[in-house]
Every structure is written in C-alpha cells, then in structure tokens.
Amino acid sequence: PTPKPRSALRRGIAGTAAALTLLAVASWHFSPRVEKRSSGLGGLLEEFQLLDAWQMLSGGNPFKYICPMTVFQRMAAVALVGKAAEGDCCTTYDSVPMLWPYQYPECGKSHCPSCWRADGDLASSDVASYAALSFAASLAVSSPKVLLPEAPEEARRLDDVTRHAGIASKQMLARAKHGMRERVVNLCPRISDWEEYFLNDDAENVHARVYKSASAQVAVVSFRGTQAKSAQNWEIDSDINMLNVQLGAPGPHGPAPSEVNIHEGFYLELQRVLPHVRKWVEGYIEGTQGLFGIPSYWKLVFTGHSLGAALAILAATMAEAESWPRLPDAVIAFAAPRVGDKGLSQWWESRDLCKKLLRVSVYNDVITYMPFMEPLQLMDTFNYCFQNVIQCLGQLASGPKALHPSERWTHVCPSSELYVPGAMKGVNSKMEDFSLMGGALAHFIGNALFGYSFGVLNSDIPRHDAYCGLRKELLPAASCTTMEELDEVVCFGLAHDVNATSAAHCRQNCCDDEYCSVWQVMRNNQCWRGRSHHCTALHPYAAEVASGQRLH
C-alpha cells in the first residue's frame, strides 16, 4: 500500500479520538499557547500545560513536597475521598492520585509499588550498549533546531524534505528539564563530531533526524514522537484500522505468516519518510552515487519515542522485508505503542530479529498499552461518552476495575521489553495505582524527575553505555545558573513582583522561587518574573527592557 490522503470522515474520527483522549485531563488543561524562544535553538512547544494548571490551582511547585498541605490540597482530598485522606501528608497524597500522581522522594517507595517497577535483564540484551545513545537521540529529536542562516559548503540535499542541519556545535543537544526548569543539555558529551540531517514530511508533520559520527563509527536514525499540538500526529495515532501488509517469506527460526496486520496510521505515515531514510542510509545523496553510505563496519541504530518508537520498529521491519543492503544493527524503542498483530511478532522471531530490539517502557505509561480497542468498539465508546459525559468522566476519574485491551494487537518481541521506573502513578495492565493524568505524564521523555528521563537515568542503561557518557549529572537540579540573557527581548506571561526594587533583587527573588525561570527589569525599575517561552524583540516593549535572564 502507498500513502494516500485521508478523507474528511477519517479526519473527523481521528479528531474525535484525540478530543476524547484529552477529555480525561480536560480539567487540567488551559488554552494552548504558541511558545517561541529568542534562543538560537528555535521554538519549543510547551508540554507542561498540566503542570502549569496545577501550579495555578494550588499556588505551588508541583514537584516540591509540601507538608502540611495547602488548604486547597486538603479540601480537594477530603472532597474526593473523604476519610481516606486522613493521616500524614504522604498518605493523603497517595489516597488521591487525581490530586497529583507524582511520587515525592520524601515519601519513599512504599505507597506506589508500580511507580518503581523495573523488570528485564538488560545485561543479556545484545543491544544494551546502544540504549543510552538512543535515549539521547530520541530526546534530541523532540527539541527543535534551526538551520544555519547560510548552508555550509558541505550541505547536501536529497530533495526538498531532506536537509543537512548544519549544526555548528557538532553536539547532540536537547532541551531537558528538571521539574519546572529547563536547560540546553549536551546528551552525548563523549562525541563531538556529530553530523546531522533532517528528513521531514511537512504535510503530515512526520520528522526524523539522523546523526552520524566518524570518530565513534556510528549512525543513528531517530524518529520524532507525537507532538501534542499537531493535528496530523493525532490523526496518525488515532487511525487504528489494521492494514494487511505483505512482508515476504518468514525466516527459518519458527513459523510465521508472510502477510501481517499493521497499524494503518503508523504504516502509511512511515511510507512518507522511509524512502528518504533509505537514501540517507545508502548514501544516495545528490551527485554522490552512494559514496556517503553508512559503511559496513559502522553501527546503525533506529530509535524513537512514542510515535517515533512505532516508526522505528516498522522501519526496521520494512528494511528487512525489502532486503536493504544496509540493515540496522539495533532498534531501541522508548514508550512504544502496539504496532501490529501477533503475526508481526512471529515474523520478527522467525527471522531472528528480536535480538536486535530493545523496548524500554515505564510500567504506568498508558501509551504502551494502546491501541485499547477495535474501531467499532471505539465508536461505541464515543457514542456513550457523548451521550453520558458526566458518567464517562466519572469512570475515568475513579478508574476502571480492569484493563481489557484488544487481543488483536500485540507488541513485537514481548521478551524484548525492559521496564524502567517512572515515579508516577498511571495506567497499567492490573489497574494498580490508577491515575489517568499520571498515565499521560509517565509517557513524557524530557523531565529528569519522572517518566522516561527519570527511568533511564535511574536504570542500568547508563552503566551499559558504550558511546555517550550518559549520567544523572547531565540533567541537574536548578542552581540559579544563567542560561540566556534576555535584555533585548520582551517575554510575555510574567508577573509583576512589587517587592523587588533592583535587578539584583529581581533575580534573587526568581532564584528563590522554583517555579520562576525568567526575570526582566524594565527601564522604570519594575520587576517582572515567572515562566515564559514567548520572548520576542519584535515588540515596542522590547526597547523598555533594561536587563533580564533565563535561569536554571
């Protein structure tokens, strides 16, 4: 099958699926903002709307353990669970996962066993040494980059959707967060000669970023995950029809069908970018006749997070099925949803491909159990929720008794899964420690305090790292370090601090407030501070800014 435009009906169904998914956390979402940076690394879509909402409702940093609890928190706990909220602060937090699913270090690990689940034998995996590098690339691909204003001499193009990124730093950079603050991090400090390309399909907002290092003799193809504000990405995820795909004869290592059923949305979108991936891998860059392909003695890795993980798995599948002359040596998938039926897994096993795959999951990440239903079941659920909104939201809030995912969908190579701790309540197969909001937050990759960054840094993955030198210290806690000067731009969304009487005082107040990451002082000595990614020089007020900084 080849990519085809989606009909208005299919777009409507996809949009409805996205809307119903968001209904579960609607009370925590505020209207989306367009987030821009004055930094040379370009704009970053805000992924902390849930955290911003919590901070505005409670007036506190959601990652700061507060005991005694605020009046708002105590009232909410009593209203939701009554006497079950009585007890010490940790007991109250635990009794109301809707209140906040994050597991504070001060409360230990006894309140939420599923939040710390770590299963799987990484040491026995043939591809364990690539996991840290793949994590770095998966986080880097989610951070926007800006091409150099003038393409360097070595810039090469495959066509309009494949661009040499021209990174001057030669580093694998990403925006990583520690709680409410963020900073630019070099995720792979041992390697400083990365060459980077973009492979985009702008029509469907599918993006891959590819890296290669001559010194390390390694190349990485990293597929980007779902972007929260991308209607195209939601459409891809929501297209849960199964598509029959001919893969060819199975291998000698076990029985398997030659035709398998694959997630239609993932498969069709992969076809829009896969030809460019193949050209890049094989070196068919304009005018080079394949001279810049990945050498046989290099290592080639496919990776991604979320939607990117699904695309990485299917890209490796199609590379094998199409007999590419250069196949990936490893496939590292973070937070992968289920991408096909049991036949696809059997086909991988028959060709002895499972030894190349490592699926890294947080146990309470809701996405790793998706798709839940068949399309007809999904439509029935849509109808029920539209007709019974209050009852539907009530069931989502209290949690279903059990998770009954569709039996048609399965993960590729179940034995390849490695669980890492996520420090969040969420959604799992046994419905333990249920929190729908936590199930969404556990899916995030960019924060060192929870989700996949926390899980990877607190697992054995850094110990098996053969390339990057990944370690916890790369994502440090906030230390009031200046990350960016903001004296030629005006940042919106800040609050007036009437108590600050000087630039030094304004900066110190921002440092003392863990929620604050930006401060600015105007020429009339007014201090404005808070969190903002909307900073611009193209506004009359920019000339009124005397000084300012972004802090971590």
Calculate what percentage of the chain has a pLDDT beyond 90. Answer: 46
- Look up tokens 């003695």; give the residue: 297
The pLDDT value recorded for residue 100 is 80
503-516: pLDDT as tens digits: 999 999 999 887 78
Residue 130 has pLDDT above 70, yes or no: yes
The pLDDT value recorded for residue 47 is 42
Which residue type sits at 381? T
| φ, ψ for residue 211, nearest 5 deg | -125, 145
Give the DSSP H or E segment for 236: helix 231-238
The pLDDT value recorded for residue 10 is 46
Q: Tell me the torsion sign for CA atoms 451, 454, 457, 458.
A: negative
376: number of CA atoms within 13 Å, CB side? 0
Residue from 187, 230, 180, 185 nearest 60 by CA = 180
The pLDDT value recorded for residue 177 is 87
3-state secondary structure 4-73: CCCCHHHHHHHHHHHHHHHHCCHHHCCCCCCCECCCCCCCCCCCCHHHHHHHHHHCCCCCCCCCCCCHHH
Mean pLDDT across 214-243: 76
Token pair for 518: 């930006």
Is residue 334 within 8 Å of residue 309, measured between CB atoms? yes
d(CA 333, CA 131): 9
Interacting residues of 185 by C-beta distance below 8 A, sequence separation 6+ = 173, 174, 175, 176, 474, 475
The pLDDT value recorded for residue 258 is 96
Which is higher by pLDDT, 72 or 355? Answer: 355
The pLDDT value recorded for residue 337 is 93
CA dihedral 71, 30, 515, 497 (to 10 degrees): -90
The pLDDT value recorded for residue 257 is 96
Mean pLDDT across 2-16: 44
The pLDDT value recorded for residue 391 is 57
Mean pLDDT across 45-54: 50
Mean pLDDT across 122-148: 86
Beta strands at 206-213 and 195-201: parallel, antiparallel or unpaired = antiparallel
Q: Considering only 103-107, 195-199, 327-331, which range has the smallest mean pLDDT?
A: 195-199
336-389: pLDDT as tens digits: 999 999 999 999 999 999 999 999 999 999 899 888 654 444 445 545 555 565
The pLDDT value recorded for residue 227 is 62
Mean pLDDT across 511-529: 91
What's the burial of 278, exposed, middle or buried (CB within 10 Å: 0-12/13-18/19+)?
middle
Which is higher by pLDDT, 143 or 511? Answer: 511
Residue from 468, 464, 550 nearest 173 by CA = 468
The pLDDT value recorded for residue 55 is 58
278-305: pLDDT as tens digits: 988 988 754 445 556 889 999 999 999 9
Token pair for 37: 């940076």
Residue from 521, 526, 529 nearest 494 by CA = 529
Beta strands at 162-164 and 195-201: parallel, antiparallel or unpaired = antiparallel
Tell me the CA distances in angstroms from 6 to 9, 282, 382, one per residue in order.
8, 31, 20
Residue 411 has pLDDT above 70, yes or no: yes
d(CA 492, CA 499): 20
The pLDDT value recorded for residue 517 is 87
Residue 480 has pLDDT above 70, yes or no: yes
- Chain centre to alpha carbon of residue 125: 24
Residue 29 has pLDDT above 70, yes or no: no
What's the Rg (C-alpha) of the chain? Answer: 24
Q: How confident is the model at residue 313 (pLDDT cuts 50, 70, 90)?
A: very high
Q: How confident is the model at residue 59 (pLDDT cuts 50, 70, 90)?
A: low
Q: Which residues pair with 176 in a beta bridge?
A: 183
Is residue 336 within 8 Å of residue 362, measured between CB atoms? no
Residue from 392, 453, 444, 450 nearest 112 by CA = 450
d(CA 226, CA 339): 15
Q: Tell me the torsion sign for CA atoms 53, 56, 59, 60.
A: positive
Residue 413 has pLDDT above 90, yes or no: yes
Q: Considering only 115-119, 298-302, 458-462, 472-476, which range has the smallest mean pLDDT?
A: 472-476
Residue 501 has pLDDT above 70, yes or no: yes
The pLDDT value recorded for residue 81 is 72
Interacting residues of 391 by C-beta distance below 8 A, sequence separation 6+ = none
Tell me the CA distances in angstroms from 436 to 67, 144, 312, 428, 433, one per residue in order.
25, 28, 27, 10, 10
Q: Considering only 291-295, 411-415, 475-479, 524-528, which range has the smallest mean pLDDT?
A: 291-295
What global pTM score does this model have? 0.81
| φ, ψ for residue 409, nearest 5 deg | -90, 145
Domains of the chain in sequence order:
8-25+118-146+154-474 (3.40.50), 49-113 (no CATH), 482-551 (3.50.4)
Name the average pLDDT for the chain.
Answer: 79
Question: Could you tell me where the beta strands, DSSP code E, fall in 77-205?
Answer: 162-164, 173-178, 181-186, 195-201
Interacting residues of 401 by C-beta distance below 8 A, sequence separation 6+ = 431
Q: Considering only 22-36, 379-393, 397-411, 461-475, which range has the smallest mean pLDDT?
A: 22-36
The pLDDT value recorded for residue 46 is 41
Q: Which residues pair with 392 in a beta bridge?
A: none
Q: Considering only 74-88, 279-293, 359-373, 425-439, which range has the smallest mean pLDDT?
A: 279-293
The pLDDT value recorded for residue 207 is 81
